[in-house]
Amino acid sequence: MISCASSHYSALPPYTVTTPGKKASTPVATAAVFIAIVSATYLVHGGTYYPHIVVDAQQQVRLEFLQRGLQTDEACQATVATVAQAIRVSCPLCKIAVQECFAGPVPEFETLLSEAPIAMPSSRLPRGVVTYESDDGALALAACREAERLGRSTPGAGTICYPPNAQRTMPGTTMPRVGAHPALLGFLVLLFAGAVSAFIGYLIVRYEALHAHWSHDPAGVGPQKFHAKPTPRIGGLGIMASLFVTGAVLLATEQGTPGEQFGYLLLASLPAFLGGITEDVTKTVSVAARLMLTMAAAAIGVMLLGAVIPRLDIPGFDTLLRWSPFAIAFTAFAVGGVANSVNIIDGYNGLAAGHAVIVLAAMAWVSVLVGDQLLLISALAMIGTLLGFLAWNYPKGKIFLGDGGAYLLGFWLGELSVLLVVRHPEISPWFPMLLLVYPIFETLYSMYRRKVEGLSPGQPDRMHLHQVIYQSLRRSTSEEAFNPAAATRFNNRVAPFGWLVTLACAIPGLLLWRETLWLVAASIIFCIAYVLIYRLIAK
């Protein structure tokens, strides 16, 4: 656990801890648990199944019906049968050439279902697309426009025809493109979650004496303790409680899919939170156990929300992601990795929480652009909760996130990142990658640095970027090192540097959220800049 204030050390040398050798069976047991999680998820989830029908119509025009993927083959087969029967009734002379459920995820299908331009006329449906193919391009476009005209005369069956290579808009999105209601709802969610979180934080601080014997994080014990006095490390309890209260109110007042799916997201987050909060209270839960529980949370997200990474826009690797077991395993590993990386940067007052607020604000803005109410509400609810927490955490550090809060926050960021890409193929997978590149690269570089120094990659030390910034600030002043007030001021000065780093990633991400090549370039530039800045400060 990395806590959020200052230490009693004056020189602050690179500090390492010697830990007992782990049993040889530990890696094997961890791998076995991971395989069991992936296998169980695959058996329950079963991949993605696309309802796919190809129809040979009159005048040498071929129509291809494609709907968004479903989680079970049974649901897909039922959808295919219903659509095929409707086609036979409405067009007796049409011939159904293909009627199938195609197992995925399939990048080509996701492109057809996205808002990206395609090289043929197409009609957009609330949950799918119809493409029109013919040797005569004008004939295919005419058939598309005729379908749009007929759709207008049929209530509830409207379609929109787009010519070849035209930008397309998904109709019937979960949030209207224009209108004050979604924005107002999101604002109210943010305010309510913030108020509840701040109130719970007040209760934790006000009645600290009642729970200090099990909630306190001691000062000056271990290489990553940087606070001047024992402090409650159960801020995650307030964050989770605030999210649950917000979810309950949302379900009671806003009946519909977004409220239900927000509840599923909360349910999925429970293993990650419980593993962390148990460590906060008992100090006995290993890093491997917390990581496995977070991966189990990601697996639940796969089952409840279909949150499986469909692509990374990397040739060859995207082919592997078409195989559902690999896609599920990679998703669980990625979400677990993000959660662990957020826990690593949770080192000083406001650092991790402020980073998350900026990232979630960027996600919320793009959610507005693509019209996704679930992702908007989920991002704003967590922003409000974190702002309520920061009222007690920053600047004076009266309460810490703890492992429960850090792993919950990391899971939330990772899961929303996956859902952005799954639900909106027009969003580049490198958009959330750039938003989170700071904690991710911090983790990878720390592992590399320790390996070069002959240490275990998982061994804690006090040489993370935020820690060397702190040491640099301490060296630059003559204030008394043992003065608690001065120690707290040093602590508070670190977080704004981290926030600037996050903003440096969020701003180009918001400008380039569709452009994979530019986002990859920005991510590479950040990694190079990180290494140069780190080495300059560390000297």
Same domain, 96 and 62: yes
- Give the residue-averaged pLDDT of 356-364: 98
Distance CA 511, CA 362 (A): 10
Same domain, 180 and 140: no
For residue range 509-521, list pLDDT tens digits in order. 999 999 999 999 9
Same domain, 127 and 195: no
Listed in sequence order, the DSSP H helices in 95-230 are: 107-113, 137-152, 180-206, 208-215
- Asked if pLDDT for residue 291 goes beyond 90, the answer is yes
Query: What is the reported pLDDT for 22?
Result: 47
Domain assignment of residue 144, yes or no = yes
Can you read off the two tokens belonging to residue 469?
């910034």
Query: What is the reported pLDDT for 337?
Result: 96
- Asked if pLDDT for residue 397 goes beyond 60, the answer is yes
pTM for the full predicted model = 0.79
Domain assignment of residue 39, yes or no = no
- Banded model confidence at residue 462, pLDDT cuts 50, 70, 90: confident
Same domain, 208 and 128: no
Query: What is the reported pLDDT for 321?
Result: 87
- Banded model confidence at residue 109, pLDDT cuts 50, 70, 90: confident
Domain assignment of residue 151, yes or no = yes
Domain assignment of residue 480, yes or no = yes
Domain assignment of residue 41, yes or no = no
Same domain, 353 and 229: yes
Q: What percent of the chain has pLDDT over 90?
A: 44
Can you read off the two tokens belonging to residue 88?
């036979």
Same domain, 152 and 188: no
- Banded model confidence at residue 361, pLDDT cuts 50, 70, 90: very high
The residue whose two tokens read 């981290």 is 498
Range of the domain at 138: 48-104+116-162
Domain assignment of residue 34, yes or no = no
Same domain, 218 and 79: no
DSSP H/E element including 288: helix 287-305
For the ranges 121-130, 284-293, 294-303, 425-434, which has the lowest average pLDDT? 121-130
Query: What is the reported pLDDT for 257?
Result: 67
Same domain, 141 and 250: no
For residue range 430-455, list pLDDT tens digits in order. 999 999 999 999 999 999 998 888 88
For the ranges 49-58, 86-95, 149-158, 270-279, which has the lowest average pLDDT? 149-158
Domain assignment of residue 1, yes or no = no
For residue range 465-474, list pLDDT tens digits in order. 988 998 888 7
**Which is more confidently placed, 295 or 102?**
295
Same domain, 202 and 158: no
Domain count, the chain: 2
- Please give the mean pLDDT across all residues of the chain: 84
- Give the residue-averaged pLDDT of 138-166: 76
Pairing of the two strands 160-162 and 48-56: unpaired
Q: What is the DSSP letter of 9?
A: -
Q: What is the DSSP letter of 126?
A: T
Can you read off the two tokens belonging to residue 260?
């239900």
- Banded model confidence at residue 61, pLDDT cuts 50, 70, 90: confident
Same domain, 152 and 285: no
Listed in sequence order, the DSSP H helices in 346-424 are: 351-370, 373-393, 402-423
- Banded model confidence at residue 363, pLDDT cuts 50, 70, 90: very high
Same domain, 158 and 186: no
Domain assignment of residue 266, yes or no = yes
For the ranges 34-38, 201-205, 349-353, 456-460, which has the lowest average pLDDT? 456-460
Identify the CA nearest to 287 among candidates 405, 400, 407: 407
- Banded model confidence at residue 156, pLDDT cuts 50, 70, 90: very low
Query: What is the reported pLDDT for 498?
Result: 95
Give the range with max mean pLDDT: 117-126, 214-223, 401-410.
Answer: 401-410
Q: Which residues of 458-476 are buried (b: 16+ CB within 10 A; e: fewer)?
A: eebbbbbbbbbbbbbebee
Distance CA 62, CA 94 (A): 10
Q: What is the gyration radius of the CA atoms in the chain, in angstroms?
A: 26
Q: Which residues of 403-429 are buried (b: 16+ CB within 10 A; e: fewer)?
A: bbbbbbbbbbbbbbbbbbbbbbbbbbb
- Asked if pLDDT for residue 155 goes beyond 60, the answer is no
- Banded model confidence at residue 76, pLDDT cuts 50, 70, 90: confident
- Asked if pLDDT for residue 139 goes beyond 70, the answer is yes
Give the range with max mean pLDDT: 76-80, 115-119, 157-161, 445-449.
Answer: 445-449
- Give the residue-averaged pLDDT of 409-427: 93
Same domain, 420 and 392: yes
Query: What is the reported pLDDT for 10?
Result: 35
- Banded model confidence at residue 393, pLDDT cuts 50, 70, 90: very high
